[in-house]
Amino acid sequence: MQNNEEQMERLTRELEEAELFAQRLRAYIVGIRDEVTGGHTGRALSMCNQALTEIDSATDVVAPSPHLKEPAGLDADEACGGTRE
């Protein structure tokens, strides 16, 4: 039973992290849109680069976690949207 509780806690933490990540990306999108609307394309491009850097550095949020694939019975291809052969 402890294993299920630990898994639920881990999943909850990962979902919260993913939600925070999505909120940060939405904030970037709003800010970038405002900069473009205001004619500040250089600043908008800089903000795009910042967002891309954050996405690249957040692989734990963007890519499925290996410890979640195994309990779900998924291999790496399936977890990334592929099919099982």
Q: When comparing pLDDT for 65 and 29, which is higher?
A: 29
In the numeric block, the tokens 């904030």 are attached to: 27
C-alpha span between 80 and 14 (Å, rounded): 17
The pLDDT confidence band at residue 62, using thresholds 50, 70 and 90, is low
- Residue 61, Ramachandran bin (φ over 0: left; ψ between -120 and 50: alpha; else beta): alpha
- Domain edges within the chain: 2-79
Q: Is the model's pLDDT at 60 over the cut of 50?
A: yes
